[in-house]
Structure 1
């Protein structure tokens, strides 16, 4: 095989053959194909796209560069969820134990935050003692004990994706839908779950800003799951406004525990229950309403077992930032907009996120929201509270919030955007 022939074929909008893809992916992973050659191909894919057959074969080739996990030894069906990322998106935290409490096993491999989107592992690591790094044997043990596990993906899962993802990040090819879809699905399929629900975010705080593009991504990922024997559906959900009332690590854990206790913000509860119902249906589990388990203590019991099984103390006091700064409403009226991206950037600048993968994060940093769009506010009342250990971070965080919200007087006809926008699959 000649990599130049492959680059030229895609540059000229021709389909790559199975043989070309099967040679290319391991050759790149093993260093036979150079970064600059793969960069040229990634740009050609961005500009000219791929067919469903090409994307499926590309994904399969990436899976085959590593291991494929097997949970067939469990006595219950497996079901997983993946979110494309947003602001205040703590849904995995209440969702995994909720679904486990209803009879499914949830092997949730999660990541860390980068930029304005939070990372599930960063949030859970604010719990004293909790461990993200588990072996496959430890994962199985936690699944048997607690029904759900949330941990870091091992190095052996789709190693081709790790190398290609880093390349896309520095070559302006992140936005390619075939490459996004194959990146996400290669890891999720290799993870070995029997069923998968995708939460594809749409809006200012999401990677996909446009509903049409988000639907295309969802359809591509659902077809990839189906092609590889994983029952897959996708929900398209709003990310113009942050989810819940917190964006940060320990702040979001507290809010998640409130949901598990039968309370919490209405939008977090709505999305958690909607995704839980899809996960259970995909796993073939019927006759149980996950909403009930948020109120009767079963989901909380599963949470406590899951945290303890990974070394965490579910009763421990969570970290609190040393410094707070309150931003108040400048006038009275109805809050009609709160921009998710700007809130996410503020949380990042306060120390809740990172600019590079190796950067540390502050467990207590983030943004607490005291009102959501549709709420009536009064001049001088707290609108946001900023949390950080390092007060010099307040100024850049406040700067990032310039124009992040609108307060309108006499707006009696305000209509909130629906949280659930569409379903694919």
Structure 2
């Protein structure tokens, strides 16, 4: 089957047979399909979509392009979570050790940043020595010994998706529901999970801004996953403002350490993290109800077990053994800190969250091209949330940059991203909706 003929069929709106999809994906993994052909295939899907059978076939083909793990030797359930991406979303860093502390195993295979959103893998790469892409032997040992491992795709796991993922980021095909679905689920199916919980973001900092689009993506993910044999539910969560008060890589790792150790927890971040933890524990069969699961998750966080597990995971994967007690000593930093000053007094009434994410990318904290290197030290901290009261000249956020000109440019973007009012706005829901399989 010629790649260009498969592209032509999808370009013309015709459904693809599973054999055609499998052949094209095999070419992606083998490198016999060019980058231009992959981009054209993605754009054809972006405009014409895929039916449910095609989406399942694409997901399974990308899963089968590499190894599929088997965790049958572990004494507990194997589960995971995936977020569709947002700004200040470092939930995975706390969630994996919380759930592991409750008795589940979490082999979390994460991705790099896409567009304006940060990537979990880029955050973990901030930690010196941390092997974010270990061989399978070290990955398995880390999961077995600590209960969780947060890593990126290895060459052996869903290699077709790894290549497709990078091309989508720079060809304006990120927002396609079937492509997002197949990309997320192929990695999760390759990880050998028994259950999965999805965090689908909605709002001006998400890829899906409308309730309709977010529900369509969540439904697609849940139905395709269950159709491929993986027990899956989803929570739709709000992204009309950064989830945490930090956005970047090293700064979000610092935020995660503060969260796990109890030094500081952003309220919305805490709500979303614990809601997802409860959903995972019920789905994995560790808790019989959401109420019981919430108690277990809260206890694992508050008594320090989750922080201990995160520290052990970092050490086993090559990071500093004293990381949890001295994160600032190990994480990269920049010399320039520039305060973003409020242009007027009042209450923060809204934040253009996508622009905040793009400001981080412009600082060097994200990628404009797949081959771009990320500066893990730059970012934004002390982001005020919606509803905060501020006076003229007081700081809205703090920019961490390499150069003064970069800091000033980012500050201008962040300042313009904030809107103000004279009345405190009603707080938006952090957890919007739960999606479960039909029937």
TM-score, length basis structure 2: 0.89
Contact 2:197 2:280 in 1 (8 A): yes
Q: What SS class does the counterpart of residue 75 from structure 2 fall into?
A: coil
Contact 1:69 1:191 in 2 (8 A): yes
* Residue range with higher mean Cα deviation, 16-25 or 224-233: 16-25
Matched, 1:390 2:396: no
Aligned-partner Cα distance in 2 for 1:343–1:175: 19
Which residue in the other structure is 1:270 paired with?
Answer: 271
Contact 2:340 2:415 in 1 (8 A): no
| Shift in alpha-carbon separation, 1:393–1:30, aligned structure 2, 3 A | same
Which residue in the other structure is 1:346 paired with?
Answer: 359
* Residue range with higher mean Cα deviation, 93-102 or 346-355: 346-355
Q: Equivalences for 1:13-32 in 2 at 5 Å?
A: 13-30=13-30
Matched, 1:422 2:423: no
Aligned-partner Cα distance in 1 for 2:340–2:170: 36
Report the Cα offset of residue 95 of structure 1.
0.8
| Shift in alpha-carbon separation, 1:133–1:39, aligned structure 2, 3 A | closer
Which residue in the other structure is 1:304 paired with?
Answer: 311
Report the Cα offset of residue 120 of structure 1.
1.7
Which residue in the other structure is 1:131 paired with?
Answer: 131
Which residue in the other structure is 2:110 paired with?
Answer: 110
Which residue in the other structure is 2:62 paired with?
Answer: 62
Aligned-partner Cα distance in 2 for 1:302–1:295: 13
Q: Cα deviations across residues 240-297 of structure 1 (Å, max 9, x unaligned)?
A: 1001111122221221122212341111111110111111111111155201222111
Q: Cα deviations across residues 346-395 of structure 1 (Å, max 9, x unaligned)?
A: 22223322323333333332111252111221223222111123223113
Alignment RMSD (CA, Å): 2.2
Q: Cα deviations across residues 321-355 of structure 1 (Å, max 9, x unaligned)?
A: 21111122232221111221121122222332232
Contact 1:362 1:388 in 2 (8 A): no
Aligned-partner Cα distance in 1 for 2:402–2:11: 50
Contact 1:114 1:357 in 2 (8 A): no
Matched, 1:193 2:193: yes
Q: Equivalences for 1:365-380 in 2 at 5 Å?
A: 365-380=378-393
Which residue in the other structure is 2:179 paired with?
Answer: 179
| Shift in alpha-carbon separation, 1:406–1:127, aligned structure 2, 3 A | same
Q: Equivalences for 1:140-151 in 2 at 5 Å?
A: 140-151=140-151
Aligned-partner Cα distance in 2 for 1:261–1:31: 45
| Shift in alpha-carbon separation, 1:395–1:382, aligned structure 2, 3 A | closer
| Shift in alpha-carbon separation, 1:21–1:311, aligned structure 2, 3 A | closer
Matched, 1:164 2:171: no
Q: Equivalences for 1:161-310 in 2 at 5 Å?
A: 161-169=161-169, 171-262=171-262, 263-286=264-287, 287-288=292-293, 289-310=296-317
Q: Equivalences for 1:322-333 in 2 at 5 Å?
A: 322-333=335-346
Q: What SS class does the counterpart of residue 134 from structure 1 fall into?
A: coil
Report the Cα offset of residue 164 of structure 1.
3.3
| Shift in alpha-carbon separation, 1:218–1:37, aligned structure 2, 3 A | same
Aligned-partner Cα distance in 2 for 1:28–1:362: 29
| Shift in alpha-carbon separation, 1:50–1:115, aligned structure 2, 3 A | closer
| Shift in alpha-carbon separation, 1:402–1:331, aligned structure 2, 3 A | closer
Report the Cα offset of residue 179 of structure 1.
1.9
Q: What SS class does the counterpart of residue 416 from structure 2 fall into?
A: coil
Contact 1:334 1:408 in 2 (8 A): yes
| Shift in alpha-carbon separation, 1:67–1:402, aligned structure 2, 3 A | same
Aligned-partner Cα distance in 2 for 1:229–1:25: 20
| Shift in alpha-carbon separation, 1:354–1:178, aligned structure 2, 3 A | closer
Report the Cα offset of residue 115 of structure 1.
4.2
Aligned-partner Cα distance in 1 for 2:41–2:149: 37
Aligned-partner Cα distance in 1 for 2:231–2:87: 27
Report the Cα offset of residue 172 of structure 1.
4.4
Q: Cα deviations across residues 204-242 of structure 1 (Å, max 9, x unaligned)?
A: 222222221121111111112112221111111111100
Aligned-partner Cα distance in 1 for 2:256–2:32: 46
Which residue in the other structure is 2:376 paired with?
Answer: 363
Gaps of 5+ in 1: none
Which residue in the other structure is 1:79 paired with?
Answer: 79
| Shift in alpha-carbon separation, 1:224–1:248, aligned structure 2, 3 A | same
Contact 2:246 2:383 in 1 (8 A): no
Structure 1: 4+ residue segments shifted above 6 A? none
Aligned-partner Cα distance in 2 for 1:292–1:353: 35
